[in-house]
A and B are shown apart, each in its own frame.
Chain A
């Protein structure tokens, strides 16, 4: 069993992936975090909740994960003075999430002799600093027009150092965020990211919805990962109702998830070519991506497969003829992508831009808790489809693509590898898909029931944690995007590179803004 030696009373959670729930005291957190970290585990999601209406004070929630499963910890905090130890001492990815928790709930990191970053993260001055929007008694009437909030960027000093501020409105068609570069000449000494611009109150919105309605919102947390979020959400609802969806639904979900992975990798491979000066790559890959999207629309009714996955199964079944079309598209795509990979590999100018550019070392990736293909390109062979595994992937023997270089070229190589593997998986799914129902009715879960969903999306692992309310409503919901862990990695990967290489490095990670701003 995973998380051995913690000596916590752990309750197994029903669901598709191995997961446990445990209640801990704040005093136990240091020992538990240290032990999990020392065994190679990682912190993924970290969030807070207000339970004062149920005489429960505040609570802090952590999800710790390793190759064996996930451990969801709930820590009760005092109603008057909610505080907890700084978790970034053990898990560096805690830092920004702690700041977000403070902005939303007013829950503080305890006083510490070590440095604790207490700058706001999601709050940009659009609501009053004494109002905490996720508190159940927040009035939020005084939402004054936001001004400029004079965020304190870390200054870099020295001869010839200057700053380049970029964003939030970027020069391309990209989500908004602010990048502050400190440079000497063209060389980047430091990049500091400031995000939170697309914060649109998703957690609060969830708590006004029924479990059924929530599926639509989950599919709109990050548009490029709509399948992964919808599946993670559905998995959490199924877990809290103690149900397992029909096998056919699971096969179709995996089919959709792999198509989402292919579409995103194809688009990014094209954009990477373009950023490296090869516009040909953009035109070719975007054409292939469009072919994938059009077939999605024909087969499942939506180009990005939004709302195709619902709690209990999938929205609609796919007939044999459509399945054959999907397999035929794999056969058509594979030789085209192989040709394009050869062209990329043989293109000296492009390789010169990709190789040794934006290196994320294995040690930094591990220290920051980086996940997804970015981790795999730095030598970490982690993939939740493989370990701890998830139906129906346990029947498919997923082959994990990795690279060791950690540079843009490594991330490009892993993305190519994953496109080919997803094509193989889709063919295998089309061959093996079980007949039967595609969806089932779910019972209403008891109030307070927890549910956890864990899906390896194209960018990395996505978690959705839910707590049921009365009569099939949502009491609390938290969605976790892998970008939380991976954004800080981008700050490291650009150090020492030149400013003009930033777009290609940034695109090689292609992190989500909306998914982490919530």
Chain B
């Protein structure tokens, strides 16, 4: 294969991988925003906690048992999902629920505070160093390292993300809870008046958002091979950019924004300079805020009197 073409395809695949991870995190941002109009800045921390849960559970299982790597991956994924969901729900109960009727800025400050608390909690409980994460994803034999364009973890990340998206779409379109979520996002007072238990919808939204972020955390840890307490911060900010890019509150928008961001970063780093890897995300944020503040798929909010 022509090396230039190969290089390009590798960048595209790496962009799709990044985009998948961003999408898994951005979904939580956008769903929570849709329901309670809050940017949950502690959301990146939930993703980080997901990665740490997998590190601890997976590490223990790798040492003490003879289970196959895929089984260990499965167990640590489930553990991370449950543990992160519990964190997400607790976060909402103690930091956001009491501020439900307070000015929006108050809740936002509370969210930033929770983000700092969770980061520092993990810093104290673990260390500030990067901890090695032994990948639990065995190389597939049909993908030969160095020869194939795609690596095994990339493939696993993309497939998992696709499955999660599909599951979420079906959930929101067809289930009773999905209907309740859509109604609550569109009109909270009316949702109450048709008999929807708003508190249950909010809790459920945090469960789903945290669970997808945790899946993202476990996958990225397997991909990069190391984690520390700070990985959630940058990933969280970038996923937030992706959600704004797509139109915050819109689920397809968050997915689209994530892939656009992932691609831009990957291609920008590959063809312009890898030193500005992170700058591309913020450049995109500035451009979108100037030219299309409602985002790619967001609708302009018309305040009707």
A and B: real partners?
no
- Give B contacts to A, CB under 8 Å: none
- Give A contacts to B, CB under 8 Å: none
